[in-house]
Chain A
């Protein structure tokens, strides 16, 4: 009887110990939650990180392949030339030194935009994976200031990239088109962008 009573005490305090510790751990963790919106926002951030890391992984693979090809072509001038020309082409595309083509979206806006709206629109397109862009047939590069498009009566914005991703991110509720209004996006299998002009 005495043993049973002692075992009962042991079990009781075991349970109390578990409950107290559990409460402490959970409340410590919950303490870092600032608002009900946080999980949603964090999900967006995680999704963005996942998307960016996938691109970085692809880039790493491309860089490692380039390195390997360069190593293997040490005695073959023609092969080295091919690899270096491919590398040079990549930078020419990025720098807008050549006319380019690819799938993407064309965005038509029939009203004026202020500079900050154009800045936000271009940023949204880059965030959605646009690899090359033009606004009213002018190629957009890293250092293109947007002030030059201020007060133009209408806009045709072309962006090359994954046409579905670009289209969905532009047209989703709360997306950039919602904020600018009256714009129309259209998926296209091939868009041609001019080379950059000074």
Chain B
């Protein structure tokens, strides 16, 4: 048993024993004699000399600590140019800031629209002559997708295949969403929205574009990633039939068959609640002729 601690004892003045009978300990190790500190090596003179008495070691620890602290402070704010990673990191920060700003702007627009609706309700009562105009504007808003929509419909899931993501055909593309939406409009869809993983529901509106940048899809300017949930308001049978049309959605079905792209209808959903359009509807150049 003592042999198990042979190295430790030797370091602090104890006698060294080999753990292995075939490997004798060298004679100069055996000359190390047992002394009074062997019972508690932490109290030995040698220990104190090495670990406590050595101020240089304490300074080294302080130095490392202060150095770490200074480096962390220095890296806390990005310097202008130190590594090739800096422009990327600045962009990353900028993207994050702009995404936050976008979310806030959309929320403020939605809140202001709610306040406008409340004001219009008051106008209906106070200025009864305006009722027809307000009703007309409300009808147009609903047609344009500026209000929520609810009714029978379907929910479609479009997601990346389980295959390695470096296979381009195994991932869900912006063009898949564009083709799908076109197919749904073609078959009489009344309203469509798309949500990506963890992102806001984006209604397809008057000025919606769906674009792909690297591995993300921008819908109404908002970054989304698969899996995509596409909610469609409309006749269920017609919508299901449209989705099952393999020739109209050839690009998607080819990749479903070959690469395992996921494209399914959620059969549990029979009614959908579609959010209002929160994207941009500013028309500064176009005027009524």
Contact = CB atoms under 8 A, between A and B. Distances in A.
Contact of B140 (A56, A67, A95, A142): A95
A18 B283 contact: no
A10 B91 contact: no
Contacts, number: 273
B147 to A, nearest CB: 11
A132 B66 contact: no
B286 interface: yes
B85 interface: yes
Contacts of A32: 92
A67 B63 contact: no
Size bin of chain A's contact surface: 35 or more
Contacts of A55: 221, 280, 282
Interface stretch (B2-10, B34-42, B100-108): B100-108
Given A17-B66, A126-B207, A84 B133 contact: yes
A16 to B, nearest CB: 7
Contacts of A59: 105, 109, 280-282
Contacts of A46: 91, 94-95, 98
A25 B220 CA distance: 35
B241 interface: no
B189 interface: yes
Given A58-B284, A81-B133, A93-B286, A29 B85 contact: yes
B63 A94 contact: no
Interface stretch (B110-118, B150-158, B260-268): B110-118
22 contacts: A13-B61, A15-B67, A17-B71, A18-B74, A38-B88, A41-B213, A45-B214, A46-B91, A53-B98, A53-B221, A66-B116, A74-B122, A81-B133, A88-B133, A93-B287, A95-B140, A99-B288, A123-B210, A127-B209, A142-B204, A142-B206, A161-B285
Contacts of A162: 285
B204 A53 contact: no
Contacts of B136: 88
A30 B87 CA distance: 11
A108 interface: no
Contacts of A30: 83, 85
Interface string A148-189: 000000000000111000000000000000000000000000
Nearest to A94: B206
B214 A38 contact: yes
Interface in B269-286: 279-286
Query: Which secondary structure dominates where chain B touches chain A?
Result: helix
A111 interface: no
Interface in A11-58: 11-22, 25-26, 29-30, 32-33, 37-39, 41-46, 48-53, 55-58
B11 interface: no
B53 interface: no
Given A20-B68, A33-B88, A26 B283 contact: no
B56 interface: yes
The 6 closest A-B pairs by CB, nearest first: A17-B67, A13-B63, A52-B221, A21-B71, A91-B140, A145-B186
A104 B23 CA distance: 91
A17 B206 CA distance: 57
B173 to A, nearest CB: 11
B137 A87 contact: yes
Contacts of A57: 105
Contact of B63 (A9, A89, A100): A9
B182 interface: yes
Please indicate which of the listed interface residues B71, B94, B251 has the most CB atoms of chain A within 10 Å of its own CB. B71
